[in-house]
Structure 1
């Protein structure tokens, strides 16, 4: 390959300066792939067309130079072809690493804002009979709420439709009314038009094959805690986190006593509110660690099946997102 490139760079060469490279990742170490891609992108006098199935390479190629092949068509990612603007390209070049570049090769994409959703969704999907890996679905953790920039990758300005289903899963981030018992100064659901807030998020992000799925209440963890069985699994997961982080028997005993008192409250919303505040706000337990243990417990619990999950109102937004990207609506 190096010899061919040198040949194309001859000063007396009058022919077409075009190099075609098929799947360069097939015989190269990942670190060498990155070095070669960096080097090739510095060439200005040769046109290079490369094919790849490697997210490693996909993360290194400038987004403007990328073409996605899908359903017998080609979708250039250059400016003017997508809804991305110049600042979006700069942002994505900084943060579009190899884990996120997996979306370029997916048959469906779920964009989430944190580790908890990324860890729990595959287990939840299996429970309703959908294997995300088999379906070619990528879960992309954007690490924040900058969904709009990632959505624009799949939204076209050139009149084409990529038809790759993209689901955005995001929290409502409005505290339930029961939170007034903890801090009366905080705004809660009664201070907002909830449907209006959900529609604002949808209007901002939705378009073409991108759909938005907003939690009906505060956060993912809160929505799980509204159900008695899922709440029990999450509490067991929290105890496992305490064991892993070696916080000590006394600290765990104090937490267990506090949880027991909360479980004696009168109704689900009140229990979920105080549990969430005690565990994730006051004690700052890692949501990612809790999600990992929760996902494992969920998969191994035979009493929680598809029928049971589809009757839990608070998690329907998660199930709807899974069904949308997998074509199982």
Structure 2
């Protein structure tokens, strides 16, 4: 079995939100204050302590409109069957909670309520009156808070809340919740407190061998006797008689050591090789985090029916990890989530892991099916989206092919699109490097506005756009954020039905009797199908390429010329004086030169500079890096190509 959904009403940032989960591992992503931690707390209210924890005023959703009725909180968890893999113990746990039963499938519901009892409602209504202000309403709620009660009910919720069958805390003892909070001190949790994790784990895995146990206890008894003989009791109790303490009996010492007492003496150490062993407290925080998580994972399946009996067994263990990336190197973050996935898949029986993260390395280690993205819609409500599901609804294409492509290339760099408020998809390295600087020139800080610039390659845009609702048969849950696609126009022409070859925009239609022309590449035309009917996606292209269009908009800007440009001095002269020397003229053929000569005035000057500039770029990546530095240092204003400006504005809306 597994928790298949959670409906949260009037709790913290959730007005009424239903979140669905897959079995195994769920990775919750989203901006700060998007409800990730609150969702885990909602699960804890049901499964950890049976709803016994008291809530506070600010646990109520603050958007509840003032009224004469006291507010309430409701959280419903749906447990579902797992394709015939449920054990008899699991079925026995949920047997009386079933809300739906089908052929080989079932659902059970648990609902946590936090409410003001009926016999207290009249007093509340008298305090707030018929039309209370927001301040009066919440002040009355705060006064009534000590009278609020909580309970958990099972079965199908009815029209009255609460209702149906009540669940007692002991009924939930089969659910084991292990939590690793975002701000954690793993050294303290492993070694300190009334029940440190290390000791409880050692106790759990201690093999019960009756003969070995008896032999150890005999040795321990002899050890206690030897120690007792070394103690001078006369010195210890010499004042007992004078104080009258012996009137109550002669004092002596005795004791017995059990196996569990020896566990308290064991310490976790790290083998430092030639340096011997070191206390684990000398280990780094990151490695101690991993060590602690490994202990918790190892313990998820130790309290089974076979080990502790049916009454004490944990039938459905759960692990909540907030920000597993804490103190971990990126490579270790990836390795940790990969390990957790493999561990959960290999284990027999049901168990579920929920993790919240801001790390792209974590999401790159997990499949899209495990990711749930929480974000605020335009009305300010928290809404979930499921990146792994959208590919099932693609029109006229192989959704599984696109899904496999995205998962294969969803590395730490491309995973930023899952976290960002807006996304700019680009073709190559030049755009990735230059777009943030061009955005600054437009008055936008992509960093401050949480906009991700992701290079996906010209022919692979189509695989990523379904994540944002592109080319889907219906408005299935997708990542609801603006996506700008910046694509090279790459005009081209072909002769006698042959292959299209790139040309310059001013060559379009100037030899119609010899050539067939295409003003924009096939990539642009394909992507426009994803744009149609989807407000999240827009396609932006210029006249040819980013470098050409930037030079076309700034024909006199000397900062465009870098050391990676061949004939750099001649380009500088062209920018300053408008004159192209012989070295530049040799870079273009007769058709291009003739088309340029056919242009007029300033348009000819701009197109001539842009053409020679593009032809002189040697190594786009190196040139883009040098150009980026130049543009950051340029004192004068320069013009950002209109399509780039529009793309940035759309993503930042």
Same fold, judged at TM 0.5 (above): yes
Equivalent in the alignment of 1:300: 633
1:260 equivalent in alignment to 2:577? no
Q: Which has the higher contact order (CA 8 A, sep 6+)?
A: 1
Distance, in Å, in 2 between the alignment partners of 1:154 and 1:8 is 37
Unaligned runs of 5+ residues in structure 1 are: none
Q: How does 1:78-89 map to 2 (within 5 A)?
A: 78-80=388-390, 83=393, 85-89=399-403
1:213 equivalent in alignment to 2:540? yes
Distance, in Å, in 1 between the alignment partners of 2:388 and 2:569 is 57
Asked whether the equivalents of residues 113 and 141 of structure 1 are also in contact (C-alpha less than 8 Å), the reply is: yes
1:169 equivalent in alignment to 2:502? no
Distance, in Å, in 1 between the alignment partners of 2:368 and 2:358 is 15
1:5 equivalent in alignment to 2:297? yes
**Matched positions, count:** 301
Match of 2:322 among 9, 22, 28: 22
Measure how far apart 1:276 and its partner are.
4.7
Q: How does 1:167-316 map to 2 (within 5 A)?
A: 167-174=484-491, 175-176=503-504, 178=506, 191-192=517-518, 200-205=526-531, 207-215=534-542, 217-229=543-555, 232-234=558-560, 236-237=561-562, 240-241=563-564, 260-261=580-581, 262=584, 267-268=604-605, 270-272=607-609, 274-276=611-613, 278-280=615-617, 285-304=618-637, 309=639, 315-316=641-642
Q: Which has the higher strand share?
A: 2
TM-score by length of 1: 0.79
Equivalent in the alignment of 2:447: 133
Change (3 A) 1:5 1:170: same
Q: What secondary structure, in the 3-state scheme, does the structure 2 residue paired with 1:146 have?
A: helix
Measure how far apart 1:110 and its partner are.
0.4
Change (3 A) 1:54 1:186: farther
Q: Which has the higher helix share?
A: 1
Mean CA deviation greater in 14-23 or 224-233: 224-233
Mean CA deviation greater in 84-93 or 21-30: 84-93
TM-score by length of 2: 0.42
Equivalent in the alignment of 2:373: 68
| 1:49-106 residue CA offsets vs partner (Å, 9 max, x unmatched) | 1110001111111112111111112112233576562112211222111111111111
1:48 equivalent in alignment to 2:376? no
Distance, in Å, in 2 between the alignment partners of 1:177 and 1:137 is 31
Distance, in Å, in 2 between the alignment partners of 1:230 and 1:139 is 28
Q: What secondary structure, in the 3-state scheme, does the structure 2 residue paired with 1:173 have?
A: coil
Asked whether the equivalents of residues 467 and 479 of structure 2 are also in contact (C-alpha less than 8 Å), the reply is: no
Q: What secondary structure, in the 3-state scheme, does the structure 1 residue paired with 2:646 have?
A: helix
Change (3 A) 1:278 1:5: closer
Change (3 A) 1:30 1:200: closer
Measure how far apart 1:223 and its partner are.
0.9
| 1:195-241 residue CA offsets vs partner (Å, 9 max, x unmatched) | 999555322455341211122x121111112134465332x22xx22
Larger Rg: 2
Change (3 A) 1:133 1:83: farther
Give the aligned CA root-mean-square deviation in angstroms.
3.4
